């Protein structure tokens, strides 16, 4: 019973966090800000939901697989945002008006021409 | 096989975990499967840098991680639901690193991405430049604070995962092939 | 037969696998292809002999009961087509060896060719509608690789059209099969024979039309033939030859199965119209061309019209005529493409404006063109005459005056376009001039190519000579086709 | 107890539609890519809810597979966007 | 039968086919991707009602396993076709810097010959040109 | 008889084979079968003439199912006459040809460049004929003779048609034998198409007649005398065949053109034999069918028109051979009227005249050939005075000419008398009109014959004629055939009574009432008076010939009209074909796809019209709310993918649709599908981006948007139709799916709990075998195209090659430390998972496909991390070997059961009781799945390495074409 409650709580929390991530995706002003939302919210949200699910599982293998899935999510989510962010920066995607500082200098490339990236 | 032993052990447990029970066929097939997997993986290029793990420091690192992850999500909830100009104030900061170990830097980078208000954009370890981590800061206040955050995380990680080869600024990973060459 | 029936499918696939392992050794690949096809050929002969002696042969794959597994069914039509298909594939391979360039252009010629052979065999033998789809995909995918074998500008452009249109055809076929399963709960053709009849009229018509549409596209009937004349001419000659001889006939074969087994007599009126337009539009297309490959490519369409005509007329006589027409058309058409391949190799072009006077280079070679050309035009005493005469007779018997008139007109127009090739390429001053020294006899310059071509032309001639026994075989095949219950009995043993 | 999963799934659908909205709106390739990445996460989240509801291990494999490979698409977009930007 | 999925199937067919009527090979391939999904969905929804996964030992009404097997085959074949067509598009791009499918050269020649004949020879009584080997017939 | 006909074709093969070596001696092979035939005819003649025909049947296609083809021959009196003509004249022509082609005229430059020829130039170059290919020529000639023999002996519609068409074909080669001559080629083509087309009409007519009569035997058809509308149509068709073959107005135009052929051909085919085929047919059919409505009007009008037109044209010719050719048209017209009118006496006269015509026309042609051969001209203006120079030739020609003009004591006279008398004595009402025309025609015949002989042999009119002086005297052997035939006209004329009796026995074969008599002197009767009128008229024509010739050449214009009409229709067909083909085969893929979609729409509409209606009681809005929501989301993404004008965006939206599909599969109870779909979709996105990475992001603006609405409408309608169809088919199932049996058998008999997987590797394993082969083919297709790209790169290093910049080859900074590290961590897990899924698949979702695709995903990650370099040694393994190995495992697993007497793909379950492991169940189908796993890995590796980083991709080609 406690397990059920804990499980449900975790799942509800996780689902709400993914909702927050999705909201951030829509509401935040530039790509990088959205990246924050997608990476952090989605990762923790998923971790919580899967943990909630793991509580419900009777099969040890399933629990192990869910745990593995959470670990993998922690490993891969930041990679995705890192690569997308770097690509976005390199291809000259506009930063929001709230941006006050940009210390990242992409390597000078004389042939660089930003293609249409939309 | 150019694979650290703990990787093999991890793989073996992963195999058993997938099947979900520890039976004789699974135990035996696990040996074969892990051998095959590591053999195939060893056909791929791997890093030459070896590391030593410190369990206690690892646990502490994990604690920091969970704490900051929850915190970061709380910040995110606030920002997403109520995006004020202050919360949206952004910057891209170059934070210097103190070592060139790819593994350590990766852990730092992922940590940074999941902690409040920061997102790793790039890590550059190549010589001759100094190693540096670029991060995007949401809810930006000042540059030094951001750099300090990165330095702190790097300290935690280095305590848990120590490169066995010299990977400091003076000596890059590409030359570091001799084990235990830390001065 | 349990042993024999899977071999024409499995042996080329084994060959393909080994050929892929030998991808860097062309001679080994040649040996593998030869061995695989010879074994396949022997198996096909054995199957035909068995079927002729003991009637329809069936094996259910996997050893499961026939109603839940895929069955291979060799009735007379299937085993005849199988043997023809494998024989042509083998002879054309010989031609390709002689021509050289084709398997030198890509190490994937042999694997793809063997896959094509397996697909063709499976398409003829399969007694399962979905498996037939898989067979189609198999041979189509192999054909995609083969039409773009050299990857040059021309092949890519025409290959793209070919691929796109055939993919649409595949989607249609799969949809039709899916809907058939939805309506009947089975994809076994024997099972379908009874279940489809229970369906309400509208649904049955819809399924019938969709299947005919998909197979008709494969067979290149009007108005779905666009892909053919644009793609075959750019393919390497040995590839084009096997496509021309076989692939469209597989579509016709499937149409025959649809109209005899699944929906007996389903859409004859429609098919009659389609047949007429296919004949005329195809042959007019041929007349409009200035390139030999394109002329004979358009002829394929026109001749498909004849086969559809027999199917549309229906009844044992017309079906027998169609089967015989297919039997005649496969080697005859193949040989024309092979002849064209020799011309192209010898002169470097297939354009009628640039080639002429071949008769003066080699009389026997001219004969190699003339026999299949006249045969396709329905000139006696060649095999095409027998086929056309049988169709015309059946048409008259069924009082289908219009289609007979159209078919005779198409015949005359075929003669027009064949004489166009003859006059353009074989008569006149020998051009282009042979550049390197002595004018070598066309046939002597490449013995392997010539031998293959002669063998194919020879088989076409043999069909005329042995038209008697062959035709009675076709009549037996047609009688089998007209009796779907026999098919069902053979499959289920009840 | 039965309400929670249904509500969660409904919320997940709302999240998914938000992701799809971003994917449709863009405006840049990375924007769409991150939206798609998030969509995959929402999908896995939904699977997690279903797993918990049914106590059924059938979907766990799918979760692991998507977890391992779901970011491949994002990865690919990122790499190719970068390569195009710098030609 | 699910009406929503039936309509989605129709939409996949319509949009897939529509994209395939374009010149750009990329669009064609995307169209085929949609069409392929449409066929798979068609097979799924018409093949039987939803149910439990057809794995023995599970409770409840199992879904029909046959359409699933057929769809699985179809998915894999679709992947094969998409891969090959993408390679075609790539090759096409390396030839002329575009993935557009150009009109067939010979077909255009025939069509041009018609137009030229109409303008050149108002009253075609040219006995010579009955001979196919004469240059009159050439359509270059 | 078949053997006899066959010998001609054997001779043809010999001729073709040896013609080049033997030269003119090859005509021995032509002569041999003629001699054989003549001998055989002589042996058979007495019996046949006594009224017992010889028959022979050879079954070609047996008649078990109703359809039969037989070669049936019958030698009756009429056949005897025709066969005698074919072989007799053939023999003489062969002898003649030997001299014609061999004698003095060796080509100056043997087989060297062929100068453009001057059509019918007044003076030809010496030796232009000897350049022709004697092998082909003699082969065609003897093959023609055999065909003609078969034709005249045919007693079956098939037999008749076979030889009918063969004579057309062989004639085509003979007319076009001088194929460097454009005019000759055209003439050959015209002749072939006119007679060949007529042949097809004949075929249709004959088949219709035979079906009405219930027999294919000609004698049977004639005996049955069927009547009715079908028969009337058939008769028109048959006559069309006959009149085209016999060059009757309005199809006469091919015959003068056929004079492009060497003279022996003109003499043999185009006067004595082939053109008589139509006469033969009309003669055979007239007794039975002359009373049908269409017969007489057609036969009489065409015959008389030809008679007059031919005569008029002959008078105007300046070329001796053409004059004869036009004369042939004219005389054939008369023959058509006589044998076709259906009056026994006229039939008799016609047959006699047929003999007479063969006897006088052939020598006249041959004589022209001699002159042409010796003097290199046939122009009247350059000839004259040859009577003194070559008196034998002049005398023989004179006899033939007299016969042609219908003067006594020649056979021509007797037969013409008989003809006039037959018509005059008949009781048909329009006989005088016909007779009048015949008289006019005969007068013209008289005139042109006289003119012909006088201009050649008579006194010279032009003093500048020097050619005559230079010509060498023809050899005796050369003139012999002319003389024999010419004097035969005289001899037969003198012996006209006995000859007439023989002819009577021959005519009985056609019509028992046609047994009449022939004589030089039948007393003063109408016919004799008419002959007088003819002679007088002829002289008058000669008198005023100059006047006639000065007038506008109406005949020429009329005559040309047929040719023009033919050429016009030929051009019409060609340009029509081009217009049609240009419109239908537009070459535009969008058009093709739209048309195809239109046809699909038509099919769906037809189904709806014939009552396809869904049973809406079984339809719900959605199976679950979740399904509905996913469907709506997918809907949005589909629309997005279809309209978004950017490549990457479209690809990503397509991916989104794919994921939605996976979700739908999952909800529907298809976890295997969902898993596979997810993996495939993921890999597809990678492949999409790999292939399209260099293409501009925006699609090019559509070139023409006029058709956009149409295309949208058609495709949209198809979508609606598919929805309707799905609802109908999905709600009206009539049978049961075998899934129930599968569920029962899956674990018990096949050893697996995952029914879908068991179906894939066992129940329907053949599908899977085909499908993995398709996958393998796709991979090698990709590799093949990649090799083509590499080849072209190496050759032309221009744009867009320079612009090409694969992701892993640019600056080092593009590599990512983070990605590298994560990849290292994740990859082994991916491999383990793949093995797990593969082996677990028989019992739970997974299997070889899913496993292999998981590895593919892992490889993609590694590839994306660092290109082929990151694949390390794996990228060096030829992926084709992996594919081949996988395929080998699968197919071998399927084949092995055959060796132990089981079925293909039959799987076995081994329950092993091993010491440590305990009880272990091994299903042989697992090996099949293992093969699938290996193959799929190879395919993914191939696509990644070949499509991705093509510069460092392993070279799979044995050698690159350079
Ligand atoms: Na030419
Ligand atoms: Na292109």
Which of F652, F675, F857 has the CB atom closest to D61's CB atom?
A: F675
Report the residue from F658, F688, F700 with minimal CB separation from E37.
Answer: F658
CA C43 to ligand 2 center in whole angstroms? 44
Q: What is the pLDDT of residue A99?
A: 79
C-alpha separations of F743 from A79, C68, E53, E137, F273 in Å: 44, 11, 12, 67, 79
pLDDT at F816: 83
Ligand nearest to the CA of E133: 1
- Split at pLDDT 50, 70, 90, the class of F520 is confident
How far is ligand 2, taken at its centre, from the CA of residue E108, in Å? Answer: 17
Cα–Cα distance measured from residue F37 to residue C140, given in angstroms and rounded to the nearest whole number: 56
What was the pLDDT predicted at C382? 93
Cβ contact A36–B93 (<8 Å): no
CB atoms within 10 A of CB F547: 9
ipTM associated with this complex: 0.93
What DSSP assignment string belongs to F871-912? HGGGGGS-HHHHHHHHHHHHHHHHHHHHHTT--TT---EEEE
CB contact under 8 A, D76 and F864: yes
Q: Which of C230, C233, C427 sits opposite E133 (nearest CB)?
A: C427
Q: How far is the CA of C366 from the centre of ligand 1 (A)?
A: 14
Contact between F726 and E6 under an 8 Å Cβ cutoff? The reply is yes
Instruction: Decide: pTM greater than 0.90.
Output: yes
| Nearest beta carbon to residue E132 from set C177, C179, C420 | C420
F contact residues 841-870, partner B, Cβ 8 Å cutoff:
862, 866, 869-870
**CB-based contact (8 Å) between D59 and chain A?**
no
pLDDT digit string, tens, across residues F669-725: 999 999 999 999 999 999 998 888 878 878 876 666 668 899 999 999 999 999 999
Our answer on whether F and C touch (3+ beta-carbon pairs < 8 Å) is yes
Give the C-alpha separation, A60 to F753, whole Å: 20
Nearest to C174 among E32, E74, E109 (CB): E74
Contacts of D61 in chain F (CB under 8 A): 671, 675, 837, 844-846
pLDDT at residue F799 in the model: 34
Please determine, for residue F917, whether its predicted confidence score (pLDDT) is greater than 70.
Answer: no
Q: Nearest-CA distance from F734 to chain D in Å?
A: 32
Distance in angstroms (rounded) separating the CA atoms of residues F339 and F299: 9
Mean confidence (pLDDT) of chain B: 81
Q: What is the pLDDT, as a whole number, of residue A97?
A: 79
Across F160-174, F414-428, F553-567, least confident range:
F553-567
pLDDT band (50, 70, 90) for residue F954: very low
pLDDT in tens, F407-437: 988 999 999 999 999 999 888 888 899 999 9
Ligand 1: distance of its center to the CA of C333 in Å? 22
pLDDT score of C46: 97
List the chains bordering chain A where 3 or more Cβ pairs fall under 8 Å: B, D, F
CA distance A27 to chain F (A): 20
Beta strand B132-138 with B118-124: parallel, antiparallel or unpaired? antiparallel
With beta carbons under 8 A apart, name residues in chain F contacting C143: none
pLDDT tier at B47, thresholds 50, 70, 90:
low
Query: Quick one: pLDDT at residue B174?
Result: 40
Please indicate whether, in this complex, the C-beta atoms of B45 and F869 are within 8 angstroms of each other. Answer: yes
What does the pLDDT average to over F797-823?
53
Average pLDDT, chain F: 86
d(CA E57, CA E59): 7
**Mean pLDDT, residues F342-367:** 93
Question: F78: helix, coil or strand?
Answer: helix
Is the pLDDT reported for residue F117 higher than 50?
Answer: no
In this complex, which of A34, A79, A115 lies closest to D34 when CB atoms are compared? Answer: A34
Q: What local confidence, expressed as pLDDT, does residue B166 receive? A: 58
* Position D1 pLDDT exceeds 80: no
A to E contact (≥3 Cβ pairs closer than 8 Å)? no
Contact yes or no, C with E (3+ CB pairs under 8 Å): yes
pLDDT of residue B151: 93
Chain F residue numbers with beta carbons less than 8 Å from the beta carbon of E104 are: 585, 587-588
What confidence score (pLDDT) does residue F800 get? 34
Convert the pLDDT of each residue in F606-629 to its tens digit.
Answer: 999 998 888 889 899 999 988 999
Q: Is the pLDDT of residue E126 over 60?
A: no
CB atoms within 10 A of CB B43: 15
Q: How far is the CA of E93 from the centre of ligand 2 (A)?
A: 5
Q: Select the highest-mean-pLDDT range: D55-69, F61-75, F339-353.
A: F339-353
β-partners of residue B99 are B168
Q: pLDDT category, C87, cuts 50, 70, 90?
A: very high
pLDDT, residue A107, reads 56
Q: What confidence tier does F831 reach under pLDDT thresholds 50, 70, 90?
A: very high
Q: How confident is the model at residue D42 (pLDDT cuts 50, 70, 90)?
A: very high
Model confidence at E124: pLDDT above 60? no
Listed in sequence order, the residues at least 6 apart from C232 whose beta carbon sits closer than 8 Å to its beta carbon are: C240, C243, C244, C293, C297, C300
Give the tens place of pLDDT for each residue, F862-905: 888 877 667 767 767 788 999 999 999 999 999 999 888 888 88
């Amino acid at each position: 019973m406690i397990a059920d409650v804990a499980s449900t709580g975790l799942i509800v929390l996780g689902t709400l966090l993914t909702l927050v991530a999705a909201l951030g995706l829509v509401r935040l002003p530039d790509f990088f800000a959205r990246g924050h939302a997608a990476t952090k919210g989605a990762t923790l949200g998923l971790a919580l939901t899967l943990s909630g699910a793991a509580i419900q599982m009777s099969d040890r293998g399933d629990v192990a697989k869910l745990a593995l899935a959470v670990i993998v999510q922690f490993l891969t989510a930041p990679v995705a945002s890192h690569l997308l962010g770097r690509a976005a920066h390199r291809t000259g995607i506009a930063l929001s008006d709230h941006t006050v500082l940009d210390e990242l200098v992409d390597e000078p490339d004389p042939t660089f021409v930003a293609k249409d990236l939309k | 096989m150019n694979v650290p032993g703990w990787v093999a052990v991890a793989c073996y447990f992963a195999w058993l975990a997938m099947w979900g029970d520890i039976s004789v066929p699974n135990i035996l097939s696990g040996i074969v499967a892990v051998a095959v997997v590591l053999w195939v993986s060893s056909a791929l290029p791997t890093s030459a840098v070896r590391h030593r793990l410190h369990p206690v420091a690892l646990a502490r690192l994990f604690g920091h991680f969970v704490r900051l992850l929850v915190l970061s999500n709380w910040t995110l909830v606030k920002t997403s639901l109520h995006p004020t100009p202050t919360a949206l104030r952004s910057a891209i900061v170059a934070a210097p690193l103190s070592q060139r170990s790819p593994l350590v830097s990766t852990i730092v980078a992922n940590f940074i991405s999941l902690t409040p208000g920061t997102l790793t954009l790039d890590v550059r370890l190549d010589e001759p430049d100094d190693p540096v981590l670029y991060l995007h800061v949401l809810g930006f206040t000042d540059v030094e604070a951001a750099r300090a955050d990165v330095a702190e995380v790097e300290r935690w990680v280095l305590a848990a995962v120590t490169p066995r080869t010299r990977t400091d600024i003076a000596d890059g990973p590409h030359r570091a092939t001799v084990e235990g060459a830390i001065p | 037969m349990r042993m024999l029936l899977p071999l024409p499918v499995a042996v080329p696939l084994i060959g393909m696998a080994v050929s892929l392992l030998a991808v860097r050794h062309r001679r080994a690949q040649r040996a593998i292809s030869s061995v695989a096809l010879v074994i396949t050929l022997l198996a096909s002969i054995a199957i035909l002999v068995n079927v002729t002696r003991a009637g329809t042969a069936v094996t259910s794959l996997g050893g499961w009961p026939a109603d839940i597994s895929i069955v291979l069914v060799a009735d007379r039509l299937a085993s005849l087509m199988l043997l023809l298909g494998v024989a042509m594939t083998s002879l054309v391979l010989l031609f390709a060896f002689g021509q050289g360039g084709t398997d030198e252009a890509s190490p994937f010629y042999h694997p793809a060719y063997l896959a094509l052979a397996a697909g063709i065999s499976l398409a003829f033998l399969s007694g399962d509608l979905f498996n037939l789809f898989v067979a189609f995909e198999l041979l189509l995918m192999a054909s995609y690789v083969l039409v773009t074998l050299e990857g040059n500008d021309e092949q890519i452009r025409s290959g793209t059209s070919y691929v796109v249109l055939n993919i649409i055809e595949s989607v249609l076929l799969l949809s039709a099969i899916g809907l058939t399963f939805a309506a009947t709960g089975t994809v076994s053709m024997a099972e379908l024979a009874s279940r489809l009849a229970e369906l309400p009229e509208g649904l049955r018509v819809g399924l019938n039309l969709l299947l005919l549409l998909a197979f008709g596209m494969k067979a290149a009937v009007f108005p779905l033939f666009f892909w053919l004349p644009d793609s075959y001419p750019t393919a390497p000659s040995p590839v084009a030859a096997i496509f021309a001889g076989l692939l469209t006939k597989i579509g016709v074969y499937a149409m025959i199965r649809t109209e005899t087994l699944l929906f007996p007599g389903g859409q004859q009126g429609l098919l009659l119209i389609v047949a007429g337009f296919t004949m005329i539009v195809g042959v007019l297309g041929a007349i409009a061309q200035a390139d030999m490959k394109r002329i004979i490519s358009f002829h394929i369409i026109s001749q498909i019209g004849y086969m559809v005509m027999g199917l549309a007329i229906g009844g044992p006589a017309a079906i027998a005529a169609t089967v015989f027409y297919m039997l005649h058309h496969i080697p005859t058409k193949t040989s024309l493409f092979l002849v064209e391949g020799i011309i192209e190799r010898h002169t470097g072009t297939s354009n009628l404006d640039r080639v002429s006077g071949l008769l003066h280079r080699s009389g026997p070679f001219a004969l190699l063109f003339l026999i299949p050309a006249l045969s396709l035009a329905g000139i006696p005493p060649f095999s095409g005459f027998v086929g056309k005469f049988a169709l015309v007779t059946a048409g008259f018997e069924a009082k289908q005056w219009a289609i007979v008139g159209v078919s005779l007109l198409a015949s005359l127009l075929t003669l027009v376009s064949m004489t166009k090739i003859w006059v353009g390429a074989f008569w006149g001053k020998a051009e282009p001039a042979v550049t390197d020294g002595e004018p070598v006899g066309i046939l002597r310059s490449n013995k392997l190519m010539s031998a293959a071509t002669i063998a194919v032309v020879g088989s076409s001639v043999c069909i005329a000579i042995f038209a008697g026994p062959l035709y009675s075989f076709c009549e037996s095949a047609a009688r089998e086709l007209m009796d779907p219950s026999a098919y069902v009995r053979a499959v289920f043993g009840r | 107890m039965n309400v929670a999963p249904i509500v969660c799934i409904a919320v997940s659908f709302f999240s998914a539609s938000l992701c799809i909205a971003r994917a449709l709106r863009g405006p840049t390739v990375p924007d769409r890519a991150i939206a798609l990445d998030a969509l995959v996460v929402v999908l896995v989240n939904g699977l997690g809810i279903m797993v918990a509801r049914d106590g059924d291990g059938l979907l766990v494999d799918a979760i692991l597979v998507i977890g391992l490979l779901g970011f491949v698409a994002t990865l690919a977009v990122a790499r190719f966007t970068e390569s195009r930007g710098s030609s | 039968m699910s009406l929503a999925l039936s309509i989605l199937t129709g939409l996949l067919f319509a949009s897939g086919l529509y994209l395939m009527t374009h010149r750009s090979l990329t669009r064609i391939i995307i169209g085929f991707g949609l069409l392929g999904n449409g066929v798979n969905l068609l097979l799924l929804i018409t093949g039987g009602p939803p149910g439990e996964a057809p794995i023995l030992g599970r409770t409840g009404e199992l879904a029909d396993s046959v359409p699933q097997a057929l769809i699985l085959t179809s998915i894999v074949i679709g992947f094969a076709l998409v891969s090959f067509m993408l390679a075609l598009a790539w090759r096409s791009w390396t030839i002329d810097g575009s993935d557009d499918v150009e009109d067939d050269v010979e077909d255009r020649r025939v069509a041009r010959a018609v137009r030229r004949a109409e303008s050149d020879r108002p009253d075609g009584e040219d006995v010579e040109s009955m001979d196919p080997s004469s240059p009159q017939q050439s359509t270059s | 008889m078949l053997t006899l006909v066959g010998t001609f074709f054997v001779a043809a093969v010999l001729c073709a084979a040896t013609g080049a070596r033997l030269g003119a001696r090859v005509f021995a092979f032509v002569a041999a079968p003629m001699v054989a035939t003549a001998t055989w005819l002589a042996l058979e003649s007495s019996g046949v003439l006594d009224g017992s025909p010889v028959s022979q049947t050879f079954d070609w296609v047996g008649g078990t199912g109703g359809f039969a083809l037989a070669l049936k021959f019958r030698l009756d009196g009429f056949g005897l006459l025709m066969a005698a003509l074919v072989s007799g004249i053939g023999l003489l022509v062969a002898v003649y040809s030997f001299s014609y082609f061999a004698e003095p005229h060796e080509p100056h430059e043997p087989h060297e460049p062929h100068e453009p020829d001057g059509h019918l130039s007044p003076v030809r170059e010496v030796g232009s004929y000897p350049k022709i290919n004697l092998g082909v020529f003699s082969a065609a000639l003897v093959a023609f003779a055999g065909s003609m023999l078969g034709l005249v002996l045919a007693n079956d519609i098939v037999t008749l048609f076979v030889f009918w068409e063969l004579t057309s074909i062989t004639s085509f080669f003979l007319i076009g034998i001088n194929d460097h001559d454009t005019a000759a080629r055209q003439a050959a083509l015209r002749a072939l198409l006119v007679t060949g087309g007529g042949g097809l009409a004949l075929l249709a007519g004959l088949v219709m007649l035979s079906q009405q009569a219930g027999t294919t035997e000609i004698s049977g058809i004639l005996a049955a005398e069927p009547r009715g509308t079908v028969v009337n149509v058939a008769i028109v068709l048959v006559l069309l065949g006959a009149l085209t073959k016999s060059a009757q107005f309005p199809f006469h135009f091919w015959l003068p053109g056929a004079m492009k052929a060497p003279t022996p051909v003109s003499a043999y085919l185009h006067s004595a034999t082939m053109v008589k085929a139509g006469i033969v047919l009309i003669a055979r059919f007239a007794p039975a069918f002359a009373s049908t409505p269409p017969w007489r009007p057609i036969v009489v009008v065409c015959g008389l028109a030809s008679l007059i037109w031919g005569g008029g044209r002959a008078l105007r010719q300046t070329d001796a051979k053409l004059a004869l050719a036009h004369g042939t048209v004219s005389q054939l017209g008369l023959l058509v009227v006589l044998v076709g009118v259906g009056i026994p006496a006229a039939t008799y006269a016609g047959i006699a005249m047929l003999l007479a015509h063969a006897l006088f026309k052939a020598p006249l042609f041959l004589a022209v050939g001699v002159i042409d051969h010796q003097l290199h001209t046939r122009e009247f203006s350059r000839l004259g005075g040859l009577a003194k120079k070559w008196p034998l030739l002049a005398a023989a020609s004179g006899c033939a000419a007299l016969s042609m003009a219908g003067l006594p004591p020649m056979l021509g006279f007797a037969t013409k008398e008989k003809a006039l008398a037959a018509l005059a004595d008949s009781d048909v009402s329009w006989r005088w009109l016909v007779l009048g025309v015949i008289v006019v025609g005969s007068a013209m015949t008289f005139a042109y014959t006289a003119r012909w002989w006088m201009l050649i042999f008579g006194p010279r009119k032009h003093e500048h004629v020097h050619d005559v002086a230079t010509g060498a005297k023809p050899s005796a052997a050369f003139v012999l055939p002319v003389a024999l035939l010419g004097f035969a006209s005289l001899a037969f004329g003198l012996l006209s009574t006995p000859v007439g009796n023989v002819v009577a026995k021959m005519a009985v074969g056609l019509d028992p009432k046609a047994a009449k008599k022939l004589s030089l002197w039948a007393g003063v009767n109408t016919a004799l008076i008419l002959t007088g009128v003819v002679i007088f008229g002829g002289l008058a024509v000669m008198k005023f010939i100059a006047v006639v010739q000065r007038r506008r050449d109406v005949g020429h214009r009329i005559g040309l009209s047929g040719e023009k009409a033919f050429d016009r229709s030929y051009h019409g067909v060609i340009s029509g074909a081009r217009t049609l083909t240009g419109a239908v085969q537009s070459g535009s893929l969008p058009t093709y796809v739209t048309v195809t979609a239109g046809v699909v729409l038509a099919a769906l509409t037809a189904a709806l019209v014939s009552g396809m209606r869904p049973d809406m009681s079984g339809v719900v809005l959605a199976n679950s709310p979740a399904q509905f929501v996913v469907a709506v989301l997918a809907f949005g993404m589909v629309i997005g993918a279809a309209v978004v004008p950017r490549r990457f965006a479209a690809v990503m939206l397509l991916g989104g649709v794919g994921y939605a599909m996976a979700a739908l599969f999952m909800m529907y109870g298809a976890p295997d599908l969902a898993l596979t779909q997810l993996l495939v979709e993921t890999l597809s996105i990678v492949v999409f981006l790999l292939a399209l990475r260099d293409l501009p992001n925006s699609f090019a603006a559509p070139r023409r948007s006029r058709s956009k609405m149409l295309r949208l409408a058609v495709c949209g309608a198809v979508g609606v139709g598919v929805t309707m169809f799905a609802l109908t088919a999905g709600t009206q199932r009539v049978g049961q799916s075998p899934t129930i049996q599968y569920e029962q058998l899956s674990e018990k008999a096949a050893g697996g709990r995952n029914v879908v997987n068991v179906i894939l590797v066992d129940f329907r394993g053949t599908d899977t075998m085909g499908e993995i082969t398709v996958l393998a083919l796709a991979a090698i297709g990709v590799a093949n195209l990649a090799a083509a790209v590499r080849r072209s790169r190496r050759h032309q290093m221009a744009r867009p090659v320079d612009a090409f910049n694969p992701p892993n080859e640019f600056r080092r900074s593009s590599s990512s430390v983070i990605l590298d590290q994560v990849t290292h961590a994740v990859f082994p897990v991916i491999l383990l998972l793949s093995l797990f899924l593969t082996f677990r698949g028989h019992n739970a979702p997974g299997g070889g496909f899913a496993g292999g695709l998981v590895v593919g995903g892992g490889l993609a990650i590694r590839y994306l991390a660092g290109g082929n370099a990151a694949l390390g040694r794996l990228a060096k393994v030829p992926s084709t070997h992996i594919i081949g190995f996988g395929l080998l495992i699968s197919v071998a697993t399927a084949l092995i059961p055959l060796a132990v007497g089981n079925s293909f793909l039959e799987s076995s379950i081994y329950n092993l009781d091993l010491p440590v492991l305990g009880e272990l169940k091994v299903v042989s189908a697992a090996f099949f799945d293992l093969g699938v796993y290996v193959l799929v890995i190879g395919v993914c590796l191939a696509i990644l390495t070949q499509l991705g980083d093509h510069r460092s991709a392993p070279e799979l080609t044995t050698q690159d074409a350079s």
